[in-house]
Amino acid sequence: MIDVIYMILRRLRVPLIILIAVYAISIFGLAIAPGVDPDGNPWRMGFFHATYVMSYTATTIGFGEVPFPFSDQQRAWLIISIYLSVLAWTYAVGSVFAMTTDRTFRRTVARNVFRWQVKRLSGPFFVICGAGRSALALAQALDQLGHRVVVVEIDGERATRFALNEFLSPPLIMEADASHPGSLKDAGIHRRWCQGVIALTSNEHANQTIAIGAKLLREDITVIARVTDAEGTNNLHAFGNVHAVNPFQVLATNLSLDIAAPEVLRMEDWVTAAPGTPIPTRINLPKGKWVLIGYGRFGQTISATLDEARVPWKAIDPDRDLAGEARLQRGDNSEGSLKAAGVARASVLVAGTDNDTINLSVTTIARRLNPDIYVIIRQNQSADRLLIDAARANLRVVHSQLVVREILQTLKTPLLGDFISLVRQQGNTAASRVIERVMATVGNAAPRNWAFHCDPTQPGLFNAFFRNRGGRALTIEQILRDPRHHETRLTALAVMLVRRGERTLLPDPSTELRPGDRLLFMGQEMARQLQLNFLEDPLAVDYVRTGIQQPRGWLFRRLDAWWRMRQEARQVRQD
């Protein structure tokens, strides 16, 4: 706020000096101008009355001549003072308007308001650097998960467009260069509520700078950066504890899963989507030859994956600089080139150029040559969504969606990445079992996922592990009961148990829990909130075990102990 005050004083220095000078001269002249009282005696106005008269005269209020009617000399001086004050005020007001419309001043004020808003945040939030398609999709997903979002974007127009989208909790947006450490500090990276920094700008170098700067400013924070080249990925991995998301690498992994284990990819897309998202349909890629239109990074990523899967392919690209690949056909995207590449006999067409219009044109030609061909189309611009819809492609690849899903795996729940890795290892059968069990529990909508740590230092679990009434072990089934109504089951499913580094997929509900165990649950948000009672309430586990509500207050606990002692004594006498 000090910088705003400094700018105001600096910009209005001359107008304020002029106003003060005009008022001082006018008041002094009015005070020494000779006047006459009603009795005809000579009279001069004091400084107090002169200040009073100039205050309402210069502001055009006009209360009349007080305390006595003015003499001609006083009226003449007042006329001069009126015109001087009008000119001074006009200049001052014009300076104020000029200052308020100045871009630098407006940005300074906006930045101070932004800092104040960030300081008022009292819940978990993430800092997103950039306001492109990926940033918007990620912000909306985090918003649905209940996290606030702070956005730093260097382009003011893009930041404005970002703010026009619908959110449950409007994001805080600042127009600034996120690669400057001061911008990250203003965004609240040092605050304990800040959960992570995600660099999603369109500048690769800026993303790396932001990631490294954020990690230097705060070592314990989660930092994720989007990079599209191997060198950038290696730089961030070498720095340590920075998650690098390469959309082309993610594409390669997903395509490999599409070919070898489609159910795994289906499960992965579903559990990392925003809560409520319907489960995606099965992707059944046909077997046979692929034709790739465009052999840039996108095409080369797909071709490398196809080589690993031993799938035949042919690529078309007009770039004469590309060399060293016998399956690359140099040519345009005309019908003749597609015929020469064998589209009429191919099973899959990948329209993967960086131009949406060309991708749409190629898709139309390919469908004319081979109506049954499976089309995978790349969407480059969000504004071209309607064009891509018109292509009626079997599969659409949008880099922003790939990036967002990969980031959500890291941000939503730390155990989620381990869970997905475990399902990938076990393959299609395991993924199908997970989908079936989760759908049977929560339905077709994407579930909320959360971790449950069996930490004995928590009040509820300390009692469950070390003050166990009846000697019954704590099981997964017990913490899946409603702590308000023990006969009701929570709408949740334990999908993974981690014990001493060993991971178990879909553990049996009767599994006994031990201190230090970690569980990954999927279910509804209400189930997650109710399950927190087992951590905080020392009596919640006893209730779901026995179905009896234990007394909570000191007095009722004493009465309960007295009554039990009395019952035991009575039983002894009867025996």
Mean pLDDT, rounded, for 354-360: 87
What pLDDT does 495 receive?
A: 94
In 3D, which of 170, 126, 141, 167 has the Cα closest to residue 408? 141
In terms of domains, do 547 and 420 share one?
yes
In terms of domains, do 33 and 80 share one?
yes
Portion of the chain with pLDDT greater than 90, in percent: 36
What pLDDT does 262 receive?
A: 86
- For the ranges 324-333, 490-499, 528-537, the lowest mean pLDDT is seen at 324-333
Buried b (16+ CB within 10 A) or exposed e, 478-511: bbbbbbeebeeebbbbbbbbbbeeebebebeeeb
In terms of domains, do 381 and 428 share one?
no
In terms of domains, do 486 and 368 share one?
no
Question: At residue 538, does pLDDT exceed 80?
Answer: no
Of 59, 77, 101, at which residue does a domain stop?
101
Domain count, the chain: 4
Of 192, 222, 245, at which residue does a domain stop?
245
What pLDDT does 335 receive?
A: 87
In terms of domains, do 88 and 116 share one?
no
Question: At residue 86, does pLDDT exceed 60?
Answer: yes
In terms of domains, do 83 and 153 share one?
no
What pLDDT does 129 receive?
A: 95
In terms of domains, do 126 and 47 share one?
no
Question: At residue 432, does pLDDT exceed 70?
Answer: yes
pLDDT confidence of 472, banded at 50, 70, 90? confident
Tokens 């999709």, located at residue: 137
Question: At residue 569, does pLDDT exceed 90?
Answer: no
Mapped to the 3 state alphabet, what secondary structure does 85-149 carry? HHHHHHHHHHHHHHHHCCHHHHHHHHHHHHHHHHHHCCCCEEEEECCCHHHHHHHHHHHHCCCEE
pLDDT, tens only, 252-288: 888 888 888 888 988 988 888 777 788 888 777 888 9
Mean pLDDT, rounded, for 532-536: 86
CB-side neighbour CA atoms (13 Å) of 299: 25
Domain coverage including residue 330: 286-391
Mean pLDDT, rounded, for 63-85: 87
What pLDDT does 210 receive?
A: 93
pLDDT confidence of 100, banded at 50, 70, 90? confident
Question: At residue 546, does pLDDT exceed 80?
Answer: no
In terms of domains, do 7 and 97 share one?
yes
What pLDDT does 178 receive?
A: 92
- Decide if 139 is inside a domain: yes
Pick 325 or 500 by higher pLDDT. 500
In terms of domains, do 229 and 158 share one?
yes
- Decide if 357 is inside a domain: yes
pLDDT, tens only, 16-25: 999 999 999 9
Question: At residue 437, does pLDDT exceed 90?
Answer: yes
- Mean pLDDT score of the chain: 86
- Decide if 267 is inside a domain: no
pLDDT confidence of 550, banded at 50, 70, 90? low
CA–CA separation, 70 vs 341, rounded Å?
102
Question: At residue 323, does pLDDT exceed 70?
Answer: no
Question: At residue 94, does pLDDT exceed 90?
Answer: yes
- Decide if 573 is inside a domain: no
- Decide if 296 is inside a domain: yes
In 3D, which of 205, 202, 212, 201 has the Cα closest to residue 243? 212
- For the ranges 342-356, 401-415, 485-499, the lowest mean pLDDT is seen at 401-415
Residue ranges with strand state E in 297-382: 313-317, 328-330, 348-351, 374-379
Of 360, 391, 422, at which residue does a domain stop?
391
Pick 322 or 374 by higher pLDDT. 374
pLDDT confidence of 390, banded at 50, 70, 90? confident
Mapped to the 3 state alphabet, what secondary structure does 221-272 carry? CEEEEECCCHHHHHHHHHHCCEEEECHHHHHHHHHHHHHHCHHHHHHHHHHC
Question: At residue 551, does pLDDT exceed 70?
Answer: no
What Cα–Cα distance (Å) separates residue 97 from each residue in 92, 156, 178?
9, 21, 30
pLDDT confidence of 494, banded at 50, 70, 90? very high
What pLDDT does 64 receive?
A: 76
Question: At residue 47, does pLDDT exceed 80?
Answer: yes
In terms of domains, do 377 and 419 share one?
no
- Decide if 179 is inside a domain: yes
| CATH value at residue 189 | 3.40.50.720
Tokens 């100039």, located at residue: 54
Instruction: Please work out, in degrees rounded to the nearest 5, the angle formed at the alpha carbon of residue 201 by the alpha carbons of 195 and 391.
Output: 110
What pLDDT does 405 receive?
A: 83
pLDDT confidence of 575, banded at 50, 70, 90? low
In terms of domains, do 91 and 162 share one?
no
Question: At residue 314, does pLDDT exceed 60?
Answer: yes
pLDDT confidence of 565, banded at 50, 70, 90? confident
Q: Residue 445 — φ and ψ, nearest 5°?
A: -80, 145
pLDDT confidence of 232, banded at 50, 70, 90? confident
In terms of domains, do 134 and 73 share one?
no
Question: At residue 156, does pLDDT exceed 70?
Answer: yes
What Cα–Cα distance (Å) separates residue 482 from each residue in 447, 491, 531, 541?
18, 9, 8, 10
pLDDT confidence of 558, banded at 50, 70, 90? low
Pick 390 or 70 by higher pLDDT. 70
- Decide if 236 is inside a domain: yes
Q: Are 285 and 536 in contact (CB under 8 A)?
A: no
| CATH value at residue 18 | 1.10.287.70
What pLDDT does 231 receive?
A: 77
- Decide if 272 is inside a domain: no
pTM given for the model:
0.73
| CATH value at residue 519 | 3.30.70.1450
